[in-house]
Amino acid sequence: MNPKTITTIVALTALTALCALNAAVAADKVPLQIELPKPLFVGTPVPLKLPNLEPARTGKRPDFLVPAGTVNLAKGKKVTGSDSEPVMGTLDLVTDGDKAGDEGTWVELGPGKQWVQIDLEKSSEIYGVLVWHFHAQARAYLGVVVQVSDDPEFKTGVTTIFNNDSANVHGLGAGKDLAYVEDYQGKLIDAKGVKGRYVRLYSAGNTTNKLNHYTEVEVFGK
Interatomic CA distance for residues 79 and 97, integer angstroms:
13
Where on the phi/psi map is residue 157: left (φ > 0), alpha (ψ -120 to 50), or beta?
left
Q: What is the dihedral of CA 6, 8, 10, 13, to 10 degrees?
A: -140
Q: How far apart are CA 105 and CA 102, in angstroms?
A: 6
Cβ pair 198, 161 in contact under 8 A:
no
**What distance in Å separates the CA atoms of residue 151 and residue 123, rounded to the nearest whole number?**
10
Helices and strands (H and E) in the chain: how many = 1, 11
Q: Where are the domains of the chain?
A: 32-221
Q: pLDDT averaged over the chain?
A: 90
Burial of 175 (0-12, 13-18, 19+ CB in 10 A): buried
Q: What are the tens digits of pLDDT across the range 27-36?
A: 589 999 999 9
Q: Which of 40-44, 48-52, 64-68 has the highest mean pLDDT?
A: 64-68
Percent of the chain with pLDDT over 90: 78
In sequence order, the 6+-apart residues with CB closer than 8 A to the CB of 102 are: 40, 136
Write the CB contacts of 150 (distance below 8 Å, at least 6 apart in sequence): 123, 157, 195, 196, 197, 198
At 182, give phi and psi (nearest 5°).
Answer: -65, 140
32-221: what CATH class? mainly beta
- pLDDT tens for 79-127 read 999 999 999 999 999 999 999 999 999 999 999 999 999 999 999 999 9
Instruction: Give the pLDDT score at 40.
Output: 87
Q: How confident is the model at residue 47 (pLDDT cuts 50, 70, 90)?
A: low
3-state class (DSSP) for residue 85: coil
In this predicted structure, what is the pLDDT of residue 57? 81
